[in-house]
């Protein structure tokens, strides 16, 4: 049963998992092929689970690929090849110790990594490699002040702390700009165009782009940064049929920027290509149609991964442009022009951790109604696209988690399956979600959960199982995928196995109240009005 659940998520998962286990008991392809780049402060990590570390400025001046190939990663690659567990990857170790499949297996079995596992294992650990999965933060500019965020990732947070000073939680300063500078997390004090890490990225970009499979832009709010639009223009001008391109947005940016973004994505849907083809004389016994393999045709549209429409020889003068002169044997060349997508797919990742007033409180600056309207506008006006909701699962995500999942089902009903076909579009799943567990601060961690909250999550899990697509997944595109149900089950087990003890919970809840009382004073919000189901509990803390 477990195998079926996993195979809905990644093709040939079991084969990749076996290869990973044969390489070593701690190997993860992400340490070689995935990178998250924080160009604002020159820090990096392989995926979003380990903490970031500093990029050596002198090294990227020699070789810009040192944005990814750092000395720390070389050490961690060596450890993984030898079966040791790097401490920064504890997120996966906790999941595996709880008896579940961790993200390192999922990462290593995805399309951008699975065909390179044996090659990576054979390389010296100091070999410089170009990643195939890249996530980049160009700028900290952001119009939100999310409760678990920080001044180094949001200009609005920075403005607030400059005005009021850091929060004082217990006997420590929280989100102190001075402390963040001391550990090199605040953005370097130069204009974005003069940032040496951004400059190194653009030097590396043409080489990096050649084998890139996944490219994701985050923030801050990436729609508030010019580099985001520069990337979209580049992909339009230099199409990459293997590339999965994406942006992670709070989906409440200034309206003019969102409209500009929509227009840029629409341009990726139809890019003109031309291919010179040779047609031999059919009398010599060969096929006269010489189609390039990557061109696709379906009715009047051209897509990836299917055959071109059959064209009769008599139709050629009308169908193709720039027919070359026929040679004596009747063969000739022609220029085939067609419209195709500039990239394999575009995904809009939407950061939201609950619904309605709960979501707006957790992510200060959010208007949930506008977020939903923008989701629908994006899906209505673009074609080769999907939306994936990212719920950074925290203590305040629990009360409305079922309503959050109902939103997923509601949007799947509207934007997947038959409705797509009725609009003359290709049928595919356009609505996704993920639920990574929040790492910090401790007072917002789900490891503070009560037995009643765990029971609530188990009830929701049972409800999801009753809405499981099962074997009907490929036909319905509705309900929850088996691996999505498994992810929730996995999260529940991880929470249950890592609950804070009562003394730690008591301290965390004291800090919780201190933080949100100050939060309400600074921002004009009201915790008990936003979370009426927690009002009595909050007052009694």
Q: What is the pLDDT of residue 417?
A: 65
Rounded to an integer, what distance in angstroms lies between the CA atom of residue 210 and that of residue 240? 8
Q: What percent of the chain has pLDDT over 90?
A: 71
Residue 504 pLDDT > 90: yes
pLDDT in tens, 507-519: 999 999 999 999 9
Which among 170, 160, 169 has a CA at the least distance from the CA of 522?
A: 160
Residue 315 pLDDT > 50: no
User: 359 with 392: CB under 8 angstroms?
Assistant: no
User: 98 with 494: CB under 8 angstroms?
Assistant: yes
Q: Where are the alpha helices (DSSP H) in 130-170?
A: 155-164
**Among 96-105, 178-187, 352-361, whose mean pLDDT is lowest?**
96-105
289 vs 49 pLDDT, higher one = 49
Q: What percent of the chain has pLDDT over 70?
A: 82
Overall average pLDDT of the 97-115 stretch: 91
pLDDT in tens, 57-94: 999 999 999 999 999 999 999 999 999 999 999 999 98
Q: What is the pLDDT of residue 475?
A: 55
E strand or H helix at 346: strand 343-351
pLDDT in tens, 446-481: 999 999 999 999 999 999 998 876 544 445 678 898
Q: What is the pLDDT of residue 317?
A: 43
The two three-digit tokens of residue 481, written as one number = 């995928």
CA angle 371, 376, 377 (to 5 degrees): 95
Residue 483 pLDDT > 80: yes
Residue 341 pLDDT > 50: yes
309 vs 57 pLDDT, higher one = 57
Beta bridge partners of 217: 136, 247
Within 10 Å of residue 287's Cβ, how many Cβ atoms?
9
CA distances to 48, 192, 209, 233 from 343, in Å = 24, 27, 12, 12
Rounded to an integer, what distance in angstroms lies between the CA atom of residue 351 and that of residue 333? 50
3-class DSSP state for residue 293? coil
User: With bands split at pLDDT 50, 70 and 90, how would you rate the model's confidence at 112?
Assistant: very high
Q: What is the pLDDT of residue 467?
A: 80
> DSSP E strands: which ranges in 237-303?
240-249, 271-279
CA-atom Rg of the chain in angstroms: 25
Q: What is the pLDDT of residue 427?
A: 75
Within 10 Å of residue 119's Cβ, how many Cβ atoms?
10
- This prediction has a pTM of 0.84
């Amino acid at each position: 049963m477990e195998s079926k659940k996993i195979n809905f998520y990644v093709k040939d998962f079991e084969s990749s998992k076996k290869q990973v286990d044969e390489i070593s008991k701690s190997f993860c392809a992400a340490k070689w092929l995935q990178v998250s780049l924080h160009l604002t402060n020159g820090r990096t990590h392989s995926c979003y689970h380990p903490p970031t570390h500093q990029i050596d400025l002198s090294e990227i001046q020699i070789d810009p690929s040192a944005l990814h190939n750092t000395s720390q990663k070389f050490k961690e690659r060596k450890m993984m090849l030898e079966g040791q567990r790097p401490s920064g990857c504890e997120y996966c170790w906790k999941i595996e110790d709880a008896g579940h499949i961790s993200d390192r297996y999922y990462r290593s079995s995805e399309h951008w990594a699975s065909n390179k596992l044996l090659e990576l294992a054979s390389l010296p650990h100091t070999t410089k490699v170009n990643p195939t999965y890249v996530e980049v933060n160009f700028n900290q500019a952001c119009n939100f002040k999310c409760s678990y965020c920080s001044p180094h990732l949001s200009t609005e947070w920075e403005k607030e702390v400059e005005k009021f000073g850091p929060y004082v939680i217990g006997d420590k300063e929280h989100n102190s700009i001075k402390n963040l500078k001391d550990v090199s997390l605040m953005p370097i004090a130069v204009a974005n165009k003069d940032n040496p890490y951004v400059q190194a990225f653009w030097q590396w970009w043409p080489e990096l782009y050649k084998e890139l499979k996944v490219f994701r832009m985050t923030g801050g709010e990436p729609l508030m940064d010019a580099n985001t639009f520069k990337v979209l223009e580049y992909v339009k001008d230099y199409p990459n049929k293997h590339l999965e391109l994406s942006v992670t947005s709070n989906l409440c940016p200034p309206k003019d920027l969102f409209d500009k973004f929509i227009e840029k994505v629409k341009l990726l849907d139809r890019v003109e290509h031309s291919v010179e083809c040779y047609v031999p004389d059919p009398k010599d016994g060969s096929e006269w149609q010489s189609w390039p393999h990557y061109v696709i045709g379906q009715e009047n549209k051209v897509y990836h991964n299917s055959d071109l429409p059959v064209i009769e020889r008599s139709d050629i003068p009308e169908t193709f442009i720039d027919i070359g002169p026929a040679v004596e044997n009747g063969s000739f060349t022609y220029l085939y022009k067609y419209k195709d997508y500039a990239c394999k797919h575009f995904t809009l990742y939407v950061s939201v951790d609950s619904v309605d007033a709960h979501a707006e409180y957790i992510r200060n600056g959010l208007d949930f109604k506008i977020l939903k309207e923008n989701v629908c506008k994006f899906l209505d006006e673009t074609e080769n696209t999907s939306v994936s909701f990212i719920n950074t699962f925290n203590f305040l995500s629990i009360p409305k988690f079922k309503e959050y999942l109902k939103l997923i089902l509601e949007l799947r009903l509207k934007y997947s399956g038959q409705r797509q076909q009725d609009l003359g579009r290709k049928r595919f799943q356009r609505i996704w979600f993920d639920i990574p567990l929040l790492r910090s601060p401790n007072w917002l961690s789900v490891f503070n959960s009560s037995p009643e909250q765990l029971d609530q999550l188990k009830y929701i899990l049972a409800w999801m199982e009753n809405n499981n697509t099962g074997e009907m997944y490929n036909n319905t595109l509705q309900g929850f995928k088996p691996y999505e149900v498994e992810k929730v089950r996995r999260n529940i087990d991880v929470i249950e196995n890592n609950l804070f003890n009562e003394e730690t919970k008591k301290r965390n809840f004291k800090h919780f109240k201190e933080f949100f009382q100050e939060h309400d004073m600074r921002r004009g919000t009201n915790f008990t009005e936003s979370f009426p189901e927690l009002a009595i509990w909050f007052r009694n803390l």
